[in-house]
Structure 1
Amino acid sequence: MKYLSTGEFAKLCRTRKDTLLFYDKEGLLKPRHVSENGYRHYSIGQFYEFDMVAMLKETGSSLKEIRNFVREPDPAGLLEHLEEKRQLLRQERLRLATRQKMLEATIALGHEALNAQYDVLDLVELEEEQLEVTSVSAEDQATEEGCIAILAEFADKFEKLGRSAPMPFGFLTEREHLPSYIAGYFFCGASRGTRAENLRIRPAGLYARFYHRGEAQSHEAVYGRMLETIAKRGWVISGHMYGYDMASYIVSESANEYLAKYCVQVCVAGEQGEVARQF
């Protein structure tokens, strides 16, 4: 039988010599022959043993699991083990897809926050957006600590499901409660798991939009001025108010500064009674 040196076998397996030494030490792949001077030699047929060890390692199998299958071959048990790993890999793929979606949303939000014109009221056409809401009381949001506690509870619900709460985050004040700054609901992005009773649709249409950055107290003041300006311009509020968190922890250099975007659907009459989209 022809034997290969450790270097030759490593080249055949497209791996490194120290990997083979590690496999030998851990009892995963022993050389077929060890000479009196300590040189290790492998048979060509051990390529398939190496391939199985490498495959199990790639699936996330532990050293103990690999060692057990090497020492006591069990085809049925091995297939069951691989099926379990396949399910774990599917779950990991979904987790990574969710994480990627969250990162893309965060990056987009950061760019929006950096390029926004603050304290300027404008009109924009917005597409329909699906949101998942949870109701909040005035007492719950009376303090900053209370608001944070609500958000933490909101996030915990998703963590128990094994995923992060989808962006965007914010609050919703129903039209009939304006000009109150007190929210009726906190929201995040809707997902497949959103229950019908928690689903709200922000309709497509024309919205008055206002960005503001400043300490928490300043937001309530500019919120009121935004609504006053809308009334002075003769725009008619036709929908709910949506306040969006603009990921202040990414864009702002101050822990006390908050960035938010406020959007409320409006009707704006033009000279011919049509909706004016520019001003």
Structure 2
Amino acid sequence: MNRKQLKTFYTGEFAKRFGIKKDTLFYYDKIGLFQPDGISENGYRYYNTQQLDTFWAIQSLRALNFPIKELKNYFSAPSSEKLAKLAEEQLLKVEDEIKKLQEFHWFLSKLTSIAEEIKNVTLGEVMIVELPEEHVIYSSPNPRSGGTTNEEWNSDYEIFLEQTGMKGPTFIGSVTSMEDILRGQFSRVDRLFIHTEMGSGDLKSAGLYAILYHKGAYESIADVYPFLLNEINNHGLRVSGNAYEEYMVNSLSTNNEADFVTKISLKVQ
């Protein structure tokens, strides 16, 4: 095709179109990955519209850390078969990246909602609230009968992470069973749980819950249950289900354990 029939771009124009520096184009030319269509009479390199798709593909693949050597191998002798195989392989990587971004989005959204929730509560005050059902994932039940130590909780946490395939910081909480609460065993964790998307996991039942936001180190959580039970009794209610502990303010937010905040939600009727 005659060059006059194609729109052309000088190096700066082409680089601006893709939001890159001219040095990137110079480097790609130097290594033989992507070269200009030609050089004008005044010595300036230029590219044409037919090269836009090729360069967009190169930039997209580089964003996925696709090796330059493999890019050179492909573009030195492109074909429909090689392109289809390349697209299929990279699609899997893109889907994996999307999953990671979705998990990160959920994590940031959770941090934001927790910060907003904490701003609007009174610490140490028991509230009786009607809650909707929630989807959660539970760990395997705790086989131990005594109180749960920090070491045991951390071990169960790691196992739960492995079972669910979760990675990085997560918002895993603890369940204290109704049976343990009624017999005064407040330091035993019956199982761990984490909130999940609608339509998956188990159901945390809807209904009336006594909610208390407790400020203090993890070791102090068990000590607040007698106060919580007394307040429930003062409201003319009784325990009818498990307690769910959610660690709203933890080591992600503060280095001082005395400033930790735990949300306890205990099913009542």
Q: Which residue does the alignment assign to 1:156?
A: 162
1:52-131 aligned at under 5 Å gives the runs 52-59=54-61, 60=64, 61-131=66-136
- Superposed CA deviations along residues 100-141 of structure 1, whole A, max 9, x for unmatched, are 112111221122234321111111111101221122244686
Instruction: Report if aligned partners of 1:167, 1:189 keep a CA contact under 8 Å in 2.
Output: no
CA distance in 2, matches of 1:25, 1:213: 62
Instruction: Report if aligned partners of 1:24, 1:30 keep a CA contact under 8 Å in 2.
Output: yes
Q: Which residue does the alignment assign to 1:261?
A: 263
Instruction: Report if aligned partners of 1:208, 1:264 keep a CA contact under 8 Å in 2.
Output: yes
Q: Which residue does the alignment assign to 2:191?
A: 185
Aligned: 1:29 with 2:34: yes
Kindly tell me: are residues 141 and 50 of structure 1, through their superposed partners in 2, closer, same or farther at Cα, counting changes over 3 Å? farther
Q: Which residue does the alignment assign to 2:210?
A: 208
Aligned: 1:146 with 2:152: yes
Q: Which runs of 5+ in 2 are unaligned?
A: none
- Superposed CA deviations along residues 226-270 of structure 1, whole A, max 9, x for unmatched, are 113323443122222212211422444514543111111222xxx
Name which of 133, 136, 139 aligns with 2:142: 136
Give the partner amino acid of 1:94: K
Q: Which residue does the alignment assign to 2:178?
A: 175
Instruction: Report if aligned partners of 1:230, 1:236 keep a CA contact under 8 Å in 2.
Output: yes
CA distance in 1, matches of 2:93, 2:167: 18
Kindly tell me: are residues 11 and 264 of structure 1, through their superposed partners in 2, closer, same or farther at Cα, counting changes over 3 Å? same
What CA RMSD, in Å, does the superposition of the two structures yield over aligned residues?
Answer: 3.2
Q: SS at the partner of 1:30?
A: coil
Kindly tell me: are residues 139 and 65 of structure 1, through their superposed partners in 2, closer, same or farther at Cα, counting changes over 3 Å? farther
Q: TM-score scaled by structure 1?
A: 0.77
Identity %: 25
Q: SS at the partner of 1:249?
A: coil
Instruction: Report if aligned partners of 1:118, 1:210 keep a CA contact under 8 Å in 2.
Output: yes
How many residue pairs align between the two structures? 256
Q: Which runs of 5+ in 1 are unaligned?
A: 268-279
Q: SS at the partner of 1:225?
A: helix
